[in-house]
Structure 1
């Protein structure tokens, strides 16, 4: 690998680590460098690696909550219910719509959903929706208000993130804010929901990698995994720390500017960017 390839590796890993949890769409930002800048595809193994990095980061950050939830979930199987056990069940419930949507419509998104025009449209539409939800929020509910109905609604919203540009964290936070939850509860539940989703996506890609065979540059994958993990960990910490202070406005403005830029690029070269 030459120097420019290492630069691409580092930047793409940082992009994955940051955008996986910020409400600005990781898939859009990983698609755009190749389409706009002509960067080569880093390969399936690299994709698996950066997903593993972000997964480790979120699981490490919420390690205490996950430990309590896992123990409580196991106790719930024998009839001993508590708040942590309920939260574990709600995460499972809210994950199901994404699994169904991915199984039924994943091929459709792969064929038709990865154009810059689609990314621009979803970036703008769901950016406006996020801004509206944040402005109209009531913040009358905390994590104690999470129930089956709320988890189901947020899970259905998460399924929309199958479309590139939507942002998994953005749409789940939007849904939670629309239900009246405070920002911290919305963000934390969104991050917990990311764990089974990233695990599932990474596992499928891992199976593809195994079937693909050898030829992987493992040093590149390892570096990408580390960079994605550390950038994701920093992103989660700073996002939750500053969330109540800055709100969603910076991310909404960013999405609107990005969406407009993508439309300008598309209409300048519509035939090359489908």
Structure 2
């Protein structure tokens, strides 16, 4: 599946890119296609596998939120029989994850089963998606946003948006944060909800990839996972602070243009 050097490089790229709105799946796929001579359909399952490392890092970083949500599940289930109000965050994560699967699974199956592109063509496709991600970030409203509780419509918008991140080059964090900011959430809540959304979504994706036997597990695949976890855990706090202040849309657009132009060189 991977050599030792490939595992280390890809793990580091995943750990660094996951927290920024630049598509970690696009970055790792771009590295595999451009430097490791992988086809796009080969690169995508490996990219999804690497997300498990940064998922573990996010779980450690947001452990207080995760513990609170897990401890609230029994009360959430009982609230239906008692006809009491439900925990809005659990409802948000549940609905958004279901919609992510409905939208993302067909896209994932398409790009892995049908898109046997490699080399310049695959690089260009990823580049186009990076440009789209950058342009999406440029459209975020600058109006005053509010700290508020997510509702049904927020769950629908965020979940559908996250589903499109199955396409390499479309940033999961970028598209979900953009969707939540457009829904008038403040930046802090948008970032927190976006990363909480990633936990069940990535778990479901990992289960799906495992059931479909899309990734060959060996010692180097776990080396890649370790490096993704380690670098993700070390950098998450710094990068979340940077992401609030730096406009990464220009980076996405610039890298996307270079990726498209590479097809003609």
Counterpart in the other structure of 2:124: 117
Q: Does 1:141 align with 2:146?
A: yes
Q: Taking structure 2 as the reference length, what is the TM-score of the superposition?
A: 0.84
Residue correspondence of structure 1 range 41-60 to structure 2 within 5 A? 50-60=50-60
Tell which deviates more after alignment, 199-208 or 4-13.
4-13
Report the CA distance shift for 1:94/1:212 in structure 2 as closer, same or farther (over 3 A): closer
Task: Indicate the SS of the match to 1:164.
Answer: coil
Counterpart in the other structure of 2:183: 179
Cα RMSD between the aligned structures?
A: 2.9
Residue correspondence of structure 1 range 105-254 to structure 2 within 5 A? 105-110=107-112, 111-112=114-115, 115-133=122-140, 136-142=141-147, 144-209=148-213, 216-218=217-219, 220-244=220-244, 246-247=245-246, 249=247, 251-254=248-251
Equivalent residue pairs, number: 255
How far the C-alpha of 1:61 sits from its partner, in A, is 1.0
Kindly indicate whether the alpha-carbon contact (under 8 Å) linking 1:139 and 1:181 is maintained by their aligned counterparts in 2. Answer: no
Tell which deviates more after alignment, 190-199 or 38-47.
38-47
Counterpart in the other structure of 2:93: 91
Q: Taking structure 1 as the reference length, what is the TM-score of the superposition?
A: 0.82
Give the Cα separation in 2 of the matches to 1:123 and 1:170: 10
How far the C-alpha of 1:93 sits from its partner, in A, is 0.8
How far the C-alpha of 1:104 sits from its partner, in A, is 3.2
Per-residue CA deviation, residues 196-239 of structure 1 (Å, 9 max, x unaligned), is 11111211223344x988xx542x23322221001112332112
Give the Cα separation in 1 of the matches to 2:225 and 2:7: 10
Kindly indicate whether the alpha-carbon contact (under 8 Å) linking 1:139 and 1:183 is maintained by their aligned counterparts in 2. Answer: no
Give the Cα separation in 1 of the matches to 2:145 and 2:128: 32
Give the Cα separation in 1 of the matches to 2:45 and 2:107: 24
